[in-house]
Structure 1
C-alpha cells in the first residue's frame, strides 16, 4: 500500500525538544489551544496543563476527563481531587467531564460517553488541540484521539492535532489494575467497522509488557486469531525485559502435552517481533510493514485483517495508535475495573524529571504546508 502518512515525514519531539517546541510554537499570539487530558489520581494529570498555561495563559482551554469506576479507593479519590485543584489553579478556562466507564449492567460505555462529551465542545476558535495521554486510560485516550483526528481531517478548519505524553514505566508499574473479565473494542477502532472482515485471516499484534498474561488470554479468547505475533520491547530500559516477557507468554500458553515450546496458541520463537520501547515511530513502521507484506500474501485467499492490542508502556502505544488511525486497524483491550497502589511512598518518590516527554504533531499545518 506504499509509504504511510507518517512514514517519511513526522514531526516528533522528545524530552527537552518538547519543551523548546512548546515554548516557541505556543508562544505565538495566534495560537488558541485546547488541551484534552485526564484529571484523575495519576501524578502526571496536571503536568502538561501547567506547562502550556505558563506559555499561553488565557489562550489555553482545558477539557479534562474524570474517569469514574465503581467503588474507588478513598486515597485515589483524594489524590484526584488534589490534582484537579492544581489544574484549576493553572487554567482559568477549565471544563471537567465525569465519564462513567461502566454502565449499571457492567457494559463498557466509556468510549461512547467520551464521544458525547467531545461533541459538546465549540471548536470554532481553536487552532490547536493537544491530546495529553499521560493520565488517560487506553479506552478513553484512543477514543479521544480518533474523534479529534477524524474531525481535523474531515473539515476545512485546519485544526492542528498534537499528542503529548509524560511516560514513566516505573510509575505505570506501581499502579495495579483489576482487569475486566471480558475484552472490549475501542470506540472508533471496532472490529465490526471492517467491510468483509469476516472472510479475512486474522493476525493479532499484542504490544506486550510484564504481568499481563490474564489480559492476553482474555483478548485471545475474544478475537480467536488465526496467527499471533507478540511485539516485545527491545531496545528497552532493561535489556532482558523482552526475553523475560517472551518466557512468561510461552509459560502461560504451554500445552499440557509435548515439549517446552508446544503451546495452545501455536506460537514459535520467530513469531515474536521487537520494537524500540522509546520510539513510537519504530512500532508504527513495523506494524505497517507487516500489514503490507501480509496483504500481498493473503490477497488471493480473501485478504488479511490485523487487530492491535497495545498492552505495554504508553510510548509504544502511540505508535500503535498512529498505525490504527492510518489503516483503521481494530484495537481490542481489557478495561480496568479498578486501580490500586500498594506503595504510595514509592510512587511519590518518583520525580517528574524522571518521566520521558514525547510530542507528536499528528495533523495540521506541518503536513498541509509540506512541499
Structure 2
C-alpha cells in the first residue's frame, strides 16, 4: 500500500508564474516576512529579494555569509557587492557569518545555520521565505528542516516558502573544490547509522553534474552502495545535457558503479516535484521487496542543479532519507561571468502553511528532530 505524500499535491510556481504569485500574495498587504538567503558571490543572490521588496510586504532580512578558508579575492568582491545590493533594499536586516568548517576541519556549517535561525524571534511573522539560490546544500537543508519541524510542532511560523533562481549554465560555470571528508548533511543521517539498517539493501541516488566526477567518486566510496541509480536531467534546457553527462561519466557508469542502463533515473531539470515524486515511488517499490531481507535504504547525493536539489530535500524530509554530501572548501568562477544573473528561471514551493488542509501526512523525520 502506497503511503500518502505530504507534498503531492503541492503548491508551486515556475518562471513567469513566480512573479505573478509574488505580486498577488505578498502584495496583498498584511504580510510580515522573514527573508533568509545567502549573501555570497553567486550572481543569483539578489534575484528573489529584488522582486519581494517591490511588494507591500514588510520584510526583514537574515543574510548568511558562508565563510570558507582562503576564498578567491574576486569572489570576495562579488560577495561584497551582492551584500551591499541586498542590504540597500532592506530597512531591517542582519548579516551573519556562517563558518562552514570548524578549527579542526570538521563541517559545521549546517549546525551553525540552525543555531542562527533558532535564536530568531518569529513573533508576528506571517511568512518565512528561504531563498536557496546562494546557499549550499550543507547550509540550506538543515535550516529548512529546522523550520519544517518547528512548524510541525505548532511553534510557527504560519507559512514557509522556498525560492530558487535556476540557471543551469551558471551552475556549470561555478567550479567547486571538494573537501577530503564526505559525510552526511547535518540532520540528514536518516537510518544510515542505525544498527537496524546495517543489513539494508543500500541504493545510492547521485545527481550527475558537470565537473563533479571527483566529488561523486568520493561519495560513492563513502556510501558503498549495493546499487546505484544516477539521476540525469530530462527534460532540460539543453536537450542534450543528459547525453553529455552520461558520456562524461561513462567510466563510472560502466565500470566504477556498474550501472545498468535501465537503472538511470530521469527527472525534469526545472521542476523539483518531479524528482521528489520519483524518489518516493522508488522508495515505495523497494520497501516490500527487501522487507524480509534487511530492508531498503535510499541514500541521496544532490550535486549540481539547485532546483533538483529541492526535490531531493522534499523526499529526504518526508521519508527521513540520508543525504551524503561532500562540502566544498572553495569555489572558482570565471571573471567573465556577469555580476548579476540576467534572466534566472525562478521556482517557488509553498512548503508549509495556510494553503494546506490539516492534518497533513506526517514526516518520518519527526522522530529525529535536529537541535
Same fold flag (TM > 0.5) = yes
State the Cα distance separating 1:169 from its structure 2 match: 1.1
Q: Which residue of the partner structure matches residue 80 of structure 2?
A: 81
Alignment of 1:329-344 (within 5 A): 329-342=321-334, 344=335
Judge conservation of contact 1:202–1:307 (CA < 8 Å) in 2. yes
**What runs of 5+ residues in structure 2 fail to find an aligned partner?**
361-371
State the Cα distance separating 1:197 from its structure 2 match: 2.1
SS state of the match for residue 90, structure 1? Answer: coil
Q: Which residue of the partner structure matches residue 4 of structure 1?
A: 5
State the Cα distance separating 1:199 from its structure 2 match: 2.7
SS state of the match for residue 338, structure 2? Answer: helix
Asked if residue 38 in structure 1 is aligned to residue 30 in structure 2, the reply is no
Q: Which residue of the partner structure matches residue 226 of structure 2?
A: 226
State the Cα distance separating 1:244 from its structure 2 match: 2.3
Judge conservation of contact 1:185–1:191 (CA < 8 Å) in 2. no
Asked if residue 368 in structure 1 is aligned to residue 357 in structure 2, the reply is yes
Judge conservation of contact 2:148–2:352 (CA < 8 Å) in 1. yes
**What runs of 5+ residues in structure 1 fail to find an aligned partner?**
254-260
From 339, 348, 358, give the equivalent of 1:359. Answer: 348
- Which structure dedicates a bigger proportion of its chain to helix? 1
Distance across 2 between alignment mates of 1:370 and 1:116? 28
Judge conservation of contact 1:171–1:350 (CA < 8 Å) in 2. no
Alignment of 1:22-61 (within 5 A): 22-56=22-56, 59-61=58-60
Q: Which residue of the partner structure matches residue 369 of structure 2?
A: none
Distance across 1 between alignment mates of 2:163 and 2:55? 16
State the Cα distance separating 1:351 from its structure 2 match: 4.6
Asked if residue 247 in structure 1 is aligned to residue 236 in structure 2, the reply is no
Alignment of 1:1-371 (within 5 A): 1-7=2-8, 9-56=9-56, 59-157=58-156, 159-191=158-190, 195=194, 196-252=196-252, 261=254, 263-342=255-334, 344-345=335-336, 347-348=337-338, 351-353=341-343, 355-368=344-357
SS state of the match for residue 55, structure 1? Answer: coil
State the Cα distance separating 1:370 from its structure 2 match: 9.4
Distance across 2 between alignment mates of 1:157 and 1:273? 36
SS state of the match for residue 122, structure 1? Answer: coil
> Relative to structure 1, is the Cα distance of residues 156 and 75 closer, same or farther in structure 2, using a 3 angstrom cutoff?
closer
> Relative to structure 1, is the Cα distance of residues 193 and 222 closer, same or farther in structure 2, using a 3 angstrom cutoff?
closer
Judge conservation of contact 2:150–2:156 (CA < 8 Å) in 1. no
CA distances 1:317-360 after superposition (whole Å, capped 9, x unpaired)? 11111111111111111111111123x22x1187522x100000
Distance across 1 between alignment mates of 2:256 and 2:73? 41
Distance across 2 between alignment mates of 1:305 and 1:186? 16
State the Cα distance separating 1:155 from its structure 2 match: 1.3
> Relative to structure 1, is the Cα distance of residues 23 and 202 closer, same or farther in structure 2, using a 3 angstrom cutoff?
same
Q: TM-score, normalised by structure 1?
A: 0.92
Instruction: Tell me how many residue pairs correspond in the alignment.
Output: 358
> Relative to structure 1, is the Cα distance of residues 107 and 192 closer, same or farther in structure 2, using a 3 angstrom cutoff?
farther
Q: Which residue of the partner structure matches residue 258 of structure 1?
A: none
CA distances 1:247-304 after superposition (whole Å, capped 9, x unpaired)? 3223146xxxxxxx4x242322112111111221111111000000000100111211
Q: Which residue of the partner structure matches residue 364 of structure 2?
A: none
Q: CA RMSD in A?
A: 1.9
SS state of the match for residue 360, structure 1? Answer: strand
State the Cα distance separating 1:193 from its structure 2 match: 6.8
Distance across 2 between alignment mates of 1:136 and 1:245? 24
